């Protein structure tokens, strides 16, 4: 998805990227208008129409961005598509949802509503201005969206865009509202999955209806309906992939990927001893253990820094006492959330208060790859 988009600068600290489907839209406009009787193709006007659509989408996203900023929910990146923006949240691992406070769903609700609100406001203001100063634009005449009628298209596109985005089909705003509502009870994962499957069905239905209208020939705007369905399908596909990734993260247990062969330090070790030990392992982070009990964690770089600044001392004084622990059966997604939320680089895995393994950011990608390979080999062996 990212690779199909080009960077377009930053807006309120959010990276904005333009999805290449905007160019597909240009081809769609050309095709749709060629299909209409008595319509003359004018390339400049068609580019202008896509430009109007782009600015309308941008204003809509601005609405979301401002609402998100107010509630502290801002995503890292937004990818602009002709159906709206797809926000990519800071940590893909959590989908930005489970790390939630209680009132998160309310914030998500307001953020989702802000976009359509802007679109309706633009449609209303543009409509009033056109009626007042450009009556020759004939707002009520078909076709409602056409490059020969840019002002009329501006009004109707924003109206349609607002309504379209309220469809309960994830990743559209309506789908987000639905998911926010479902996630009140905490079942955000299932809510997302259900919303995505509704989106698939709805996109197919929209395309079918557009096709039918097109075949009957009486409806020149039917191409727009087909286009909208097509883009909705792409959006749903993308969300589906991140849901699949998410569910893989939820099914892998820590015992499948944790390091069981690792070095530990004692709080009574001196920093110089610790550095000596650190030299002989690839590990970057060390659990500090006293008689089988975890008492802290310390990193190689922290040991070096302390030695440089404070001189030699004890691990006890330099180690980090704030750490999260996890259990064997916990999911990888849960470990990722813990690592992310506190900016940690290591999580000890504990069973009956005994340290049985560690998860570090450093080893995680490596062990995930190995795990995938070993599962593939096992499956191949089962099949033969
Ligand atoms: Zn939106």
pLDDT of residue 40: 64
Distance 172 CA to ligand 1 centre (A): 6
Instruction: State yes or no: cis peptide before 203, omega within 30 of 0.
Output: no
Selection from 168-172, 203-207, 343-347, 376-380 with the highest mean pLDDT = 203-207
pLDDT of residue 94: 40
Collapsed DSSP state (helix, strand, coil) of residue 345? coil
pLDDT of residue 37: 60
Distance 111 CA to ligand 1 centre (A): 9
Give the span between the Cα atoms of 333 and 252, in whole angstroms: 8
Closest CA to 283 of 342, 340, 360: 360
Distance 378 CA to ligand 1 centre (A): 44
User: If pLDDT is split at 50, 70 and 90, which confidence band does 252 have?
Assistant: confident
Distance 369 CA to ligand 1 centre (A): 36
Instruction: State yes or no: cis peptide before 3, omega within 30 of 0.
Output: no
pLDDT digits over 121-140, tens only? 999 999 999 888 887 777 77
pLDDT digits over 316-346, tens only? 988 988 778 889 888 888 887 787 777 778 8
Distance 64 CA to ligand 1 centre (A): 7
pLDDT digits over 208-236, tens only? 988 888 888 755 667 778 888 888 888 78
What is the reported pTM?
A: 0.62
| Strand-pair partners of 349 | 326, 357
Residue 68: partners with Cβ closer than 8 Å, 6 or more residues away: 74, 75, 87, 111
Distance 86 CA to ligand 1 centre (A): 8
* pLDDT of residue 118 exceeding 70: yes
Distance 276 CA to ligand 1 centre (A): 55
Over residues 156-173, mean pLDDT: 88
Distance 309 CA to ligand 1 centre (A): 51
pLDDT of residue 123: 93
Q: CB count, 10 Å around CB of 353?
A: 9
pLDDT of residue 186: 60
Closest CA to 85 of 240, 242, 231, 243: 231
Distance 143 CA to ligand 1 centre (A): 25
Closest CA to 369 of 252, 241, 275: 252
- The packing angle between helices 361-383 and 332-341, to 10°, is 170
Between vectors from CA 318 to CA 315 and to CA 324, what angle results, nearest 5°? 95
Give the span between the Cα atoms of 243 and 264, in whole angstroms: 37
* pLDDT of residue 97 exceeding 50: no
Distance 149 CA to ligand 1 centre (A): 25
Selection from 270-274, 331-335, 336-340, 372-376 with the highest mean pLDDT = 270-274
| Strand-pair partners of 85 | 80
């Amino acid at each position: 998805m990212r690779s199909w988009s080009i960077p377009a600068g930053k807006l309120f600290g959010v990276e904005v990227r333009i999805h290449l489907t905007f160019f597909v839209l240009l081809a769609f406009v050309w095709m749709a208008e060629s299909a209409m009787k008595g319509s003359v193709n004018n390339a400049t006007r068609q580019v202008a129409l896509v430009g109007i659509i782009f600015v309308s989408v941008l204003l809509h996203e601005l609405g979301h961005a401002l609402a998100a900023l107010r509630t502290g929910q801002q995503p890292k990146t937004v990818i602009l598509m002709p159906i709206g923006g797809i926000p990519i949240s800071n940590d893909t691992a959590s989908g930005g949802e489970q790390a939630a406070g209680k009132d998160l769903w309310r914030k998500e609700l307001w953020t989702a509503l802000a976009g359509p609100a802007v679109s309706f406001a633009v449609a209303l203001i543009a409509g009033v201005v056109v009626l007042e100063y450009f009556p020759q634009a004939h707002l009520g005449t078909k076709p409602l969206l056409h490059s020969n009628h840019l002002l009329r298209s501006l009004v109707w596109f924003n109206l349609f865009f607002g309504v379209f985005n309220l469809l309960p089909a994830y990743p559209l705003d309506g789908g987000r509202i639905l998911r926010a509502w479902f996630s009140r009870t905490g079942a955000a994962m299932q809510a997302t999955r259900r919303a995505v499957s509704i989106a698939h069905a709805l996109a197919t239905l929209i395309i079918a209806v557009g096709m039918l209208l097109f075949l009957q020939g009486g409806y020149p705007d039917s191409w727009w309906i087909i286009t909208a369905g097509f883009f909705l399908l792409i959006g749903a596909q993308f969300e589906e992939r991140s849901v699949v990734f998410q569910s893989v993260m939820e099914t892998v247990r820590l015992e499948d990927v944790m390091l069981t062969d690792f070095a530990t330090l004692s709080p009574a070790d001196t920093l110089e001893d610790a550095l000596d030990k650190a030299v002989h392992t690839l590990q970057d982070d060390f659990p500090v253990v006293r008689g089988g009990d975890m008492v802290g964690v310390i990193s190689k770089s922290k040991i070096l820094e302390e030695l440089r600044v404070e001189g030699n001392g004890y691990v006890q004084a330099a180690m980090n006492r704030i750490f999260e622990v996890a259990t064997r059966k916990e999911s990888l997604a849960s470990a990722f959330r813990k690592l992310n939320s506190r900016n940690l680089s290591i999580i000890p895995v504990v069973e009956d208060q005994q340290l049985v393994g560690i998860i570090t950011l450093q080893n995680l990608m490596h062990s995930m790859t190995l795990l995938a390979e070993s599962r593939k080999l096992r499956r191949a062996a089962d099949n033969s």
